[in-house]
Amino acid sequence: MNNKRVLLIYPRHTMGWQAQPWVDIPMGLVCIATPVLEAGYDVKIIDQRLEPDWRNILRSELDKNPVCVGISSTTGPQLRYALELSKIVKADGGAPVVWGGVHPSILPEQTLQNENIDIVVQGEGEETFLELVSALDKGTSLSAVKGIWYKDDGTIRSTGLRPFIDLDKQPPLAYHLVEPRRYIRKVFGVERLSFITSRGCPHGCTFCFNSVFDRRRWRSMDPDLAVQRLKDFLERYRIKGVFIIDSNFFANIDWGRKVLRAIIKADMDIVITRLHIAFDTLAKMTDDDFILLEKAGCRCISIGIESGSERIRSLLKKDIDVPRLLEINRNLTKFSLMPLYFFMIGFPGETKEELAETVSLFRRLVNENPMASKSVNIYTPFPGTELFNLAVKYGLDVPQRMEDWSHFNYRNLTKNAPWASREMRSLIEVLDFCSFFADRRSYLQPFKETNKLVVLISKLYAPIARFRVERLNHSFPLEIKLAKILRLYARQE
């Protein structure tokens, strides 16, 4: 056994009180930690979101002289905490700081311009990080490690992209490194944890970082292997529920059907709290498919619609036939499945009339299907995406420092949308806020474990929220100002 230490850290995204207090398993870190652990290294994962005493834990770990310290980050507020952690590590001296995740993978050169970051792992990290750890441990050249960017006497160098891994050849994930039961959330009345069976998505949605990070490549585990590992996972951690977090579970509809049939055959008696399905697949599904989903224990399917405006959907490369969508939505009333529709607002060039079209569509969907729910978020311009370039044309100020990317989040329109007038920003913010409370589901009839006081307040506020959404009314939004003062909405940590 090697017995040398490797430290991995997952930074927090935000601080403050939440109505649904929960964080998900840092799956990316578990994925890269597993091969390193298998190779004989001693791996420690610190999840800053769950560790109030993280500073002392970090100091204790640094005293063990780790081979390196790996930090994961996405674009947005998480960067602030990732940079703070990197600074602490470098001030301690010694250990190389390695960054991975979506943001550094898309902007590796700018990431390495920060003095507290030494190496970037670009893209999938299982094989790359293991080779990197071995090279750092042995003191060999980093130039032979495919898939990284690093500093060489002040010059930033790239070793090129690494091919995607074979998911079937990866060992079972070492979930015990993060104590999975700390991440349990109650959804549809059962305790559940997250699990992954495939990666990537073949679609080219212009707003989505997956099209850049995964290069529009979908990869999957063998259906029988995926289900066996899922069964072992649920039995080990004594839970009945699972959230399959695949970006596009039915990217290959035949593969998806095989997984569901294997779950049924294994007689697992589980609750799948959500599966994501792209509209092109949903449009091909038959009643037999929906029955199959029910038998496998699926309770919710989520579908990205994004906008009620045909022009905006074309801009996003979302090919959605609205009459067909409405037909499917009505047909789903025959089943126990909850369709969860995702929408976004605040796109570059979006008009008030197009916002009204979006409101009209999501209202119709939830009104015509009592089981339906929807989620509305404000558009965030992620670097590397096609729509980001349009946002730049509309006046987006592209950050030249890592620190400035921390403002990019879906609750912070005012800093990131120079294309929107003051009136439009107010309207977008009101629609975003009120959409939480305007429907019979979500906070009014929560399917996720939610603070009971919040549920009560939500029911009292619902008539006002519905009025604002239905009328596109954003006059005197005092409730939003109060929520900001209490740091319950649009927190900027």
Token digits for 405?
Answer: 């990317």
Q: What CATH number has the domain bearing residue 445?
A: 3.80.30.20
My answer on whether 382 and 349 are in the same domain is yes
My answer on whether 281 and 416 are in the same domain is yes
Domain finish residue from 98, 126, 158: 158
Measured between alpha carbons, how far is 123 from 46 in angstroms, rounded to an integer?
Answer: 21
Identify the pLDDT of residue 485: 82
Question: Is the residue at 334 inside a domain?
Answer: yes
Question: Is the residue at 491 inside a domain?
Answer: no
For 226-258, the pLDDT digits (tens) are 999 999 999 999 999 999 999 999 999 999 999
My answer on whether 154 and 177 are in the same domain is no
Could you list the beta-strand ranges (E) of 31-106. Answer: 42-47, 69-72, 97-100
Three-state secondary-structure class, residue 80: helix
Nearest residue to 422 via CA among 493, 492, 352: 352
Domain finish residue from 107, 137, 158: 158
How many domains, the chain? 2
My answer on whether 264 and 390 are in the same domain is yes
Nearest residue to 146 via CA among 134, 159, 137: 159
My answer on whether 80 and 193 are in the same domain is no
Three-state secondary-structure class, residue 378: strand
Angle between helices 223-236 and 253-265 in degrees, nearest 10: 50
Question: Is the residue at 163 inside a domain?
Answer: no
Identify the pLDDT of residue 410: 73
Please enumerate in sequence order all residues whose Cβ is within 8 A of that of 153, keeping only pairs 6 or more positions apart, or say none. none
Per-residue pLDDT of the chain (493 residues; tens, 9 = 90+): 466 999 999 999 875 555 555 789 999 999 999 999 999 999 999 999 999 999 999 999 999 999 999 999 999 999 999 999 999 999 988 899 999 999 999 999 999 999 999 999 999 999 999 999 999 999 999 999 999 999 999 899 999 999 999 999 999 999 999 999 999 999 999 999 999 999 999 999 999 988 888 999 999 999 999 999 999 999 999 999 999 999 999 999 999 999 999 999 999 999 999 999 999 999 999 999 999 999 999 999 999 999 999 999 999 999 999 999 999 999 999 999 999 999 999 999 999 999 999 999 999 999 999 999 999 999 999 999 999 999 999 999 999 998 899 888 777 765 668 999 999 999 999 999 999 899 887 777 888 888 888 889 889 999 999 999 999 999 999 999 888 887 777 654 4
Question: Is the residue at 164 inside a domain?
Answer: no
My answer on whether 364 and 449 are in the same domain is yes
My answer on whether 331 and 478 are in the same domain is yes
Q: What CATH number has the domain bearing residue 22?
A: 3.40.50.280
**Is the separation of the CB atoms in 303 and 273 below 8 Å?**
no
Measured between alpha carbons, how far is 300 from 284 in angstroms, rounded to an integer?
Answer: 18
CB-CB neighbours of 325 under 10 Å: 20
My answer on whether 357 and 414 are in the same domain is yes
Identify the pLDDT of residue 415: 66
My answer on whether 60 and 34 are in the same domain is yes
Residue type, 472: L
**Is the separation of the CB atoms in 146 and 125 below 8 Å?**
no
My answer on whether 152 and 175 are in the same domain is no
Measured between alpha carbons, how far is 104 from 147 in angstroms, rounded to an integer?
Answer: 12
Question: Is the residue at 407 inside a domain?
Answer: yes
Cα dist from 30 to 108, 175, 232, whole Å: 22, 6, 17
Residue 75 buriedness (CB in 10 A; 0-12 / 13-18 / 19+): buried
**Is the separation of the CB atoms in 244 and 196 below 8 Å?**
yes
Question: Is the residue at 274 inside a domain?
Answer: yes
Identify the pLDDT of residue 20: 58
My answer on whether 434 and 478 are in the same domain is yes
Question: Is the residue at 492 inside a domain?
Answer: no
Token digits for 315?
Answer: 């801009």
Identify the pLDDT of residue 493: 45
> Phi and psi of 488, rounded to 5°?
-100, -10
Question: Is the residue at 310 inside a domain?
Answer: yes
Domain finish residue from 106, 134, 158: 158
Expressed as residue numbers, the domain containing 118 is 5-158
My answer on whether 132 and 202 are in the same domain is no
